[in-house]
Amino acid sequence: MQHADSFINHISAIKRYSPRTVQLYSDALNSFYEYILGDGSASSQDEIDVLTPLNIRGFVAELMEKGLSARSVNLQLSAMSSYCSYLMKMGMIQSNPVSKITRPKESRKLPEFYTELSLEKYFQNAYESYLEDSSFEKLRNYTLILILYSSGMRRAELCGLKIEDYNSVRSVFRVTGKGDKVREIPVPSLINEDILLYLKERTRIFGKESDYFFLTEHGQKPYLAFVNNIVKKELSQYDGFTSKKSPHVLRHSLATHLLNRGADLYSIKEILGHSSLAATQIYTHNSFEQMKKIYLTAHPRAKNGGNYGN
């Protein structure tokens, strides 16, 4: 598929989308063309001609019949829309056919998060466990969880983090996020001490051959599954983590806890590296649920059936 391949190369080499996003877009286009053209032996002009609202609606119906969720379908439509926008810029089509498609309605799911108490107990117990045998692996895992939670970094951002990205004097991390956007995240002073201890031990064991902040057991750059496995392994050892154990839930937890403690949405948006405030506003729902729980627990009419204690 000439045009599709050109688009995928564009978002990978020029726009520098993440490998996961590139793969998702590629799979979406392949699925569409396979549905419409079958064996894929069509010409480059056929690639353009089949991009009609009617064909795209049929593709959506096919995906829904296969049991894909509304979210998954909308992700594929977003990929199709980006592809068509690219073709418009290249002068291949006059308008974006995806703009005429009504997208399936997604059920709004609130972000999961861990309680402050659960995380406080984890950090205390995990650090004490490290002190018992001075295991570097325990120190690395503890520090990895600490940074994920205290900074709200994404997995990919953590994997790409280098030692030079940490400024202990200014107490900040310099993080390269989506679209190569760089932001600075402040580091609480108490956490600086733990980070410096980790870096000292890291240098003692691995030297300075690699400049990546975290390393695998073999001294290699960390990868996404590696981070996932550490988070799951660490949090599974302690009580209080009943929901999914993942780096993303740690990110959600920081945002929720900051909001509950009075941080404004714009500041949280900057720390998380969201491109728009709308992406950050979902955490206000969690904050409201927390407020509602406290309110109903404390309200005098919520006690003893509302009968004034009689």
> Which residues are identified as catalytic?
154, 178, 248, 251, 274, 283
Q: Which helix (H) or strand (E) holds 211?
A: none
Tokens of 183: 């932001």
Q: DSSP letters of 24-57?
A: HHHHHHHHHHHHHHSSS---HHHHHHT--HHHHH
Q: Which helix (H) or strand (E) holds 164?
A: none
102 by DSSP, 3-state: which?
coil
Rounded to whole angstroms, the Cα distance separating 73 from 62 reads 10
For 167, residues 6+ apart whose C-beta sits below 8 A from its C-beta are 173, 174
Rounded to whole angstroms, the Cα distance separating 281 from 261 reads 15
Residue 233: how many other CB atoms lie within 10 Å: 11
Q: DSSP letters of 238-304?
A: STT--S--SHHHHHHHHHHHHHHTT--HHHHHHHHT-SSHHHHTTHHHHHHHHHHHHHHHH-GGGSG
Rounded to whole angstroms, the Cα distance separating 217 from 206 reads 10
Judge contact between 51 and 84, C-beta under 8 A. yes
Cα–Cα distances (Å) from 222 to 49, 146, 274, in that order, read 44, 16, 24
